[in-house]
Amino acid sequence: MTARRASPLRFDVVTPPPADGSTRARAGRLALPHGVVETPMFMPVGTNATVKALDPDDLDEVGAQIILANTYHLYLRPGHERIRALGGLHRFMGWDHPILTDSGGFQVVSLTELRSIDDEAATFRSHLDGSLHRFTPELSIQVQEALGADVAVAFDQPVPPHASTRAEVAEALRRTESWALRSLEAHRRPDQALFGIIQGGLEADLRASATERIRALPFDGICIGGLAGDESPAQRGAVLDVVVPLLAGDPRPRYLMGLGSPADMLDAVHRGVDLFDSVLPARVARNGTLWVPGGKLNMRNAQYVDDPGPVQEGCPCRLCRRFSRAYLAHLFRAGELLAYRLATCHNLTFTLDFMGRVRQALAAGTFLDLVQDHARLPAPDAAVARHVSGGRAGTEGE
Ligand SMILES: [Zn+2]
C-alpha cells in the first residue's frame, strides 16, 4: 500500500492511560475539518440528515460535537448526487460541525432484502420501493465523498455473531479485509478522513488477525464493528480486551460502532474506546423513556400526570428548564409532536453530559471512582438495545 495523502484529521491523546494498567481509558482531542471533538465522545445519529425531532440549534444546545449520518438512507433518498449539487451534507442539513457517515454495509446486510453477497458487491432491494441496487466498496466511497462528511468509513460485511457459524464469520472477515483495500484505493477526497473496520465476530483469534490486518493499513481511524448487537456485555468486553491491546501503540482514534447506553459506554471507555454512536437515547426518548441519574422514568406511567417537578432537577436541557413531568406526560398521551423534541433533547443532554463527566474524571485522575460509582447510572435497556441492534440500525422508520 502506497502512502496516502496527508490526513485531514489530527488526534492527540491529552490524558493517556496510567502506566499501572488499571484502565485503558484515555482522553483525546480529535481535530476534523469542521471542528474539534473531545473524546471520549458520543455521536447522535441523524439517519436521514436529521437527528429525529431536533434542529441544529437543539443539537448545539444538547452538546453534540459530531453527528453520524447514514450513507445507505441518503443514497436511496434524496440521493447523494442531489446532496452534492446542493452543496454537500453540511450545508444541506444546516450543521456546520463534524459529521461521520457510515459505509452502508450494516444497513445493506441486515435491513434490506439482501439478494446476494459476493466478493464483488452486495446486491439488495431498497426498503423504500423494492428497487434493486448493487453496492460495491467503490460505490460506498463515491457516495460518501459526494455527501462530504468529515469522516467516511470503509465498506464492510458485518455478521450477527450468534446467528453465524465460524465459517460465515471468517468469510465475512476475508471479504471485509479485501473491501478495506478497495475502499482505500477508491478514496480520493483530501478533506475527508477514512476509517477502517475491524470485524471478526466473537472469535478471539479472528478478531486478533482482523486487528493486525486493519492496523497495517493507512486508515485515519479504527472502527470496531459487529458488536452492540446480541452479545452479552461480558462477550463485548472480551472482544475489546483482544482488540484494544493490539492497538496500544497506535496513534489513531478507536470507534465502537452502535453502542449508546451510558453504562455500556463507560465500560468500553475503560477498555480503551474513544468514540460511540447509537440511536438508543433518542429512540427510547420518543417512546417516553427519560434517562435520569440512577434509572429511568416512563412518561406513560400514570404517576406522572400530576407531577409538577422537572424530569431531572438541575438538568440544563430545554425540557427540564421550563416544563414539568406532568406536561410531558400529557404531551405523550395526546400524541403531540413536541413530546418527541423535548424528550430527545433531555436524553441526548443526559448522554452527552455523562460523556463530559467521563472526560472530566479522566482529566482529574478520578476515572476509576466513576467506574465504581456506575450503579447510579441507568441500566442498559436490554430489550431496546437488542431491538436497535447495531445502533446505526434501523431503517429508523417509526
Ligand atoms: Zn433535562
Q: Return averaged pLDDT per consecutive 10 residues of the chain, 398 residues in all.
A: 76 97 98 98 98 98 98 98 98 98 92 89 94 96 98 94 89 96 98 97 96 98 94 96 97 97 96 98 98 95 98 98 98 98 98 98 97 69 40 36
Distance 1 CA to ligand 1 centre (A): 49
What cell does 336 get?
403531540
Whether the Cβ atoms of residue 100 and residue 221 lie closer than 8 Å to each other:
no
The whole-angstrom separation of Cα 227 and Cα 236 is 7
Distance 346 CA to ligand 1 centre (A): 4
What cell does 70 get?
447514514
- Helix, strand, coil percentages (3-state) for the chain, rounded to 5, are 40, 20, 40
Bond preceding residue 78 cis, omega within 30 of 0: yes
The continuous run of DSSP H or E covering 101 comes out as strand 99-101
Ligand 1 ion: Cβ-proximal residues, 5 Å cutoff = 312, 315, 317, 319-320, 346
Distance 285 CA to ligand 1 centre (A): 11
Whether the Cβ atoms of residue 219 and residue 252 lie closer than 8 Å to each other:
yes
Whether the Cβ atoms of residue 160 and residue 201 lie closer than 8 Å to each other:
no
Strand partners, 278: 44
What number of CA atoms fall less than 13 Å from residue 333's CA on the CB side?
13
Q: State residue 121's pLDDT score.
A: 96
Q: State residue 396's pLDDT score.
A: 39
Q: State residue 271's pLDDT score.
A: 98
DSSP label at residue 378: P
What cell does 97 get?
460541525
Bond preceding residue 40 cis, omega within 30 of 0: yes
Give buried/exposed letters for 277-303 (b at 16+ CB in 10 A, else e): bbbbbbbbbbebbbbbeeeebebeeee
What cell does 171 get?
468469510
Q: State residue 167's pLDDT score.
A: 94
Q: State residue 379's pLDDT score.
A: 56
Distance 321 CA to ligand 1 centre (A): 7
The whole-angstrom separation of Cα 148 and Cα 35 is 14
The whole-angstrom separation of Cα 239 and Cα 237 is 5
pTM score of the predicted model: 0.94
Distance 313 CA to ligand 1 centre (A): 8
Distance 305 CA to ligand 1 centre (A): 17
Tell how many helices (H) and how many strands (E) occur in the chain: 16, 16
Distance 45 CA to ligand 1 centre (A): 19
Point out the residues that are catalytic: 102, 277
Distance 342 CA to ligand 1 centre (A): 8
Whether the Cβ atoms of residue 257 and residue 392 lie closer than 8 Å to each other:
yes
The whole-angstrom separation of Cα 208 and Cα 242 is 6
The whole-angstrom separation of Cα 242 and Cα 248 is 11
Alpha-carbon distances of 19 from 16, 23, 63, 301, 364, rounded to whole Å:
9, 9, 31, 48, 16
Strand partners, 290: 297
Distance 327 CA to ligand 1 centre (A): 13
